Amino acid sequence: MASLLPFLLLSLILQSISVVAQTKSTIATGDSFTAQTNNSTWLLSPSGDFAFGFLPIKDTDLFLLSIWYAKISEKTIVWYANGDSPAPKGSKVELNVNDGLVLTSPNGDGLWNTTALIRGGVFRGVFNDTGNFVLQDGDFSSQWETFKFPSDTLLPSQVVEKGGKLSSRLKETNFSKGRCVEEMEQEDEEKAILTDWAYDCYNEGAVDALVEGDNEALDDKEKLEKLVMIAIWCVQEDPYLRPTMRKVLHMLEGTVDVQVPPYPSPISIQYSLN
């Protein structure tokens, strides 16, 4: 029996190392991560709700540098970098002082970077529980963050500032920019137009208008309607009505029913779909 003790201790140590590795939420300059099929996650938020790394694009040998919900079986992407330039297997993302995040192909071709947006040296990257990945300088001030450069999704605590853009993807599995681009450059009341139109599409049973031309999304209209309902809850103007991240995960998993959402803004403008 005594001879098993060293083996058991070694097993516990290895498990502890594994847990630490799986919950890594910060990176330093010089850290890098490579796209490969056997390991997609580079970072986890401290709660484990979100993952950051490379996800394989369905029916291709290409990868997307992205953030997704980590606790549900169907990996729901909430942010992505290189939709117009998917990364081949073996591509690498690296954090460096002058450029921030740099994504290159196996032969060294540049696919995506944050270089033009960095105004000072980058010291580290921090992935937090809201799903926001932040590049910080030596004073821990933000140099760049995913929340300020959304792709096609807004998370519950995310606010798009004036000049920010949301772009639809071309199709459910094609992450190139689609036809719908919304730029936030108007006053608060006018900013509600897109959200209210989305609500009206849902309310009138016309959610297909939100994904016009995307046959993949239209194949499962019940799932599409559920995602639209969750999205409407997440963009409620009253922050007290927005669900917590944990509840969003439960709704996506189906362990919590998605209730009928109210109009997202106190002053709502209704539009006819005819």
Report domain extents, the chain. 26-184, 194-272
Question: Structure pTM?
Answer: 0.65
User: How far is the CA of 161 from the CAs of 47, 81, 122, 148, in angstroms?
Assistant: 26, 19, 23, 7
State the pLDDT at residue 69: 92
Percent of the chain topping pLDDT 70: 75
- Distance in angstroms (rounded) separating the CA atoms of residues 95 and 114: 10
Q: Is 4 exposed, middle or buried (0-12, 13-18, 19+ CB in 10 A)?
A: exposed
Could you tell me the two tokens for 12? 């516990």
pLDDT band at 218 (very low <50, low <70, confident <90, very high): confident
Q: What pLDDT digit, counting tens, does each position of 111-122 carry?
A: 999 999 998 899
Over 70: is that where the pLDDT of 27 sits? yes
Superfamily (CATH H level) for 26-184? Bulb-type lectin domain (2.90.10.10)
Least confident range from 28-32, 151-155, 183-187, 251-255: namely: 183-187
Q: Report whether 168 contacts 183 (CB < 8 A).
A: no
